[in-house]
Structure 1
Amino acid sequence: MKSRITPIDFIRKNWLLVGILFCIIVAAIFPHLGSKEGPMRTEFTVKYVAVFVIFLISGLNIKTDSIFNTFRQYKLHLFIQCFTFIFVPYITTVFIKFLNLFSINSWVLKGLITVACMPPPVSSAVILTRAAQGNETASIFNSVLGSFLGILLTPLHLLNQLGSTTIIPIWATVVQLSTTVLLPLSIGQIALQMGFKGRKWPLNTVSQCALLFVIYTTFCDTFTTPEAGLSALDVIITVFSVLMLQIFLMIISFKVCGFVSKDFTPQDKVAVVFCSTHKSLTLGIPILRIMFHGYSHLSQISLPLLVYHPTQIILGGLVVPQLKDWVHSQRKYKALV
């Protein structure tokens, strides 16, 4: 007989998902506490504390040999970046042509294509990949690489898709990536080489708690964002469209990468699912504000990105347990073979 799963067992196995749902509820009740104007000063505590801690722990967990091995996985990196910057904008354009048949707000549709042109984030994809026991090193590499490529490719995409572009603050972006990603990774690697024993500390738990803090502040900003000019129908259609698009992209990325290369391991495929489909809110919102400054339709254009970011986190939390079990089953199968 199958053993009965108790609520405690469910929470223990899916505690990241439970934590995400808890953060959403608390953010809905106390949105101003974690908003940018709130007492937590999230413009500093998120970028320079929470994200710093996430990548410091990654640096402490990653073996130096795996970093050098990751540089050789050019097929994996090429697939993720091509999927991010070529396939996602293309399929979103096709999806928007379909949505045009239903007379959906044209500014919301422009917001969808803007989201598709964005680079990947540098935190959520990494943590979710680690939680699912995927290739964390590859996820870090491609998140950082995608962010740097986005400095050049995102404006070109926006020029091609919308006929308008913007100048991304290159120096500010490079400094931010260096201080919040590369610096803590380097510190972690130095500490590891000096004999730091990470097994004695609950590093993964601390890292996931830092991610939950980022998620909480993200939803606080979402709940405090004014929705001027948005109808209830606009919001519902946007949520549904973003959800369908993300589910489709996650399925396609998982299926197609297996056909592209037989060399991809289950851990590589987990990294592909998260890194190639996630989009950056941190870089996206400033771009939208620069591009559409003074537009009365800024709220409609921003809505898809504001919906996309929390949705990718919720979907990620839902699929992490399944992907983790799948990785384990593949390991057992290979061990038997």
Structure 2
Amino acid sequence: MTLTVTEEERPDLSKPSSRFKACISKTFLFILSQWLLIGIGVACVIGYFFPNVAKHGGIIRSEYSILYAAVGIIFFVSGLSIPGEKLIIHLRNWRLHLLVQATSYLFFPAFMLGIVHLILATDTGKKIDVAILTGYIFTACLPTTISSNVVMTRAAEGDDAAALVEVVIANVLGPFISPGWTIALLPRSTEFAPWLQHNSSMGQMYQNVFRQLGISVLAPLAVGQLIRRIWNEHSVWFLQKFYAQKVSTACLLLLMWYVHPKTRLVAFVATSD
């Protein structure tokens, strides 16, 4: 059966009103497809004008409501949506582990170290503070962020199971590798002497990192996997009915909102010094 469209039914794009409606429709669809990027910008703007709401110890107690609850939702949804078999396959993929961890802990620190030495060699006027250069090296030695990697990989239609496995491995290794690796890469000059003195105990840091990793990442992930294994059809229905993956992405925006006041505080302290 062939359907034909008559002249009366076909929209007349020569009319200004039809062109305007088509333009509005295309603009709306484009904005809708880029809602994550736009949402990150909105979260930063809200964090700028209302820093006391989402700061640590602020109105919504973000150290619990966002760092634990929102991040927990992200990984609960990941556990609910990713088949356990895919996680096991990627856990056994040692080539992927070698590539990702080498990129994270070798390539990026080496690249950033080259930039720092280039700045030290060319910045004869000492316009860039040594603390900033130390921060460059420290940031390059840190493991990649967990929540944003998983959510953005999913939004880009990538393999979120592989991303989840690799970021968990990186963040388990991070507390053991990053501190010593940072100290090892810092230039041995008098300007960096304050950061080369690392006599403080790391016990409290390890405790905080692994507590948050266990409560907000591993536990929700395990619960989601357990529910998916027992009630697979109900899990699929829940994900589709309540747009759970969209909710997970919205939780990432809350995390961006939480981080923004902290970056403002760091910038304020740096400029005040």
Between 1:185-194 and 1:49-58, the stretch displaced more is 185-194
Q: Deviations over 1:162-181 (max 9, x none)?
A: 33445253233222211111
Match 1:148 to one of 172, 196, 208: 172
| Distance in 2 of aligned mates of 1:54 and 1:134 | 16
Match 1:185 to one of 221, 234, 248: 221
- The 5-angstrom pairing of residues 125-140 of structure 1 reads 125-140=149-164
Matched-pair contact (CA < 8 Å) for 1:122–1:144 = yes
Matched-pair contact (CA < 8 Å) for 1:158–1:164 = no
Q: Indicate the residue corresponding to 2:183 in structure 1.
A: 159
Matched-pair contact (CA < 8 Å) for 1:35–1:42 = yes
Matched-pair contact (CA < 8 Å) for 1:23–1:216 = yes
Give the AA of the match of 2:132: V
Q: Indicate the residue corresponding to 1:199 in structure 2.
A: 240
Distance 1:229 1:214, change over 3 A: closer
| Distance in 2 of aligned mates of 1:38 and 1:173 | 21
Q: Indicate the residue corresponding to 1:285 in structure 2.
A: none
Structure 1 residues without counterparts, runs of 5 or longer: 232-296, 298-337
Distance 1:178 1:228, change over 3 A: closer
Q: Quick check: 1:221 aligned with 2:262?
A: yes
Matched-pair contact (CA < 8 Å) for 1:56–1:185 = yes
- The 5-angstrom pairing of residues 177-326 of structure 1 reads 177-195=213-231, 196-197=235-236, 198-225=239-266, 227-230=268-271
SS of 1:40's partner is: coil
Matched-pair contact (CA < 8 Å) for 1:55–1:185 = yes
| Distance in 2 of aligned mates of 1:31 and 1:230 | 18
Q: Indicate the residue corresponding to 2:117 in structure 1.
A: 97
Q: Indicate the residue corresponding to 1:119 in structure 2.
A: 143
Q: Percent identity?
A: 28
Matched-pair contact (CA < 8 Å) for 1:70–1:137 = yes
Q: Indicate the residue corresponding to 1:33 in structure 2.
A: 53
Q: Indicate the residue corresponding to 1:54 in structure 2.
A: 74
Structure-2-length-normalised TM-score: 0.79
SS of 1:33's partner is: helix
Q: Indicate the residue corresponding to 2:190 in structure 1.
A: none
| Distance in 2 of aligned mates of 1:74 and 1:91 | 24
Q: Quick check: 1:43 aligned with 2:79?
A: no
- The 5-angstrom pairing of residues 73-88 of structure 1 reads 73-88=93-108
Deviation at 1:114, TM superposition (A): 1.2
Matched-pair contact (CA < 8 Å) for 1:31–1:224 = no
| Distance in 2 of aligned mates of 1:89 and 1:224 | 25
Between 1:155-164 and 1:76-85, the stretch displaced more is 155-164
Give the AA of the match of 2:77: I
SS of 2:112's partner is: helix
Matched-pair contact (CA < 8 Å) for 1:35–1:224 = no
| Distance in 2 of aligned mates of 1:48 and 1:135 | 24
SS of 2:60's partner is: coil
Deviation at 1:152, TM superposition (A): 1.2
Q: Which structure has the larger Rg?
A: 2
Deviation at 1:229, TM superposition (A): 4.9
Q: Quick check: 1:171 aligned with 2:207?
A: yes
| Distance in 2 of aligned mates of 1:216 and 1:57 | 20
Distance 1:164 1:147, change over 3 A: farther
SS of 2:53's partner is: coil
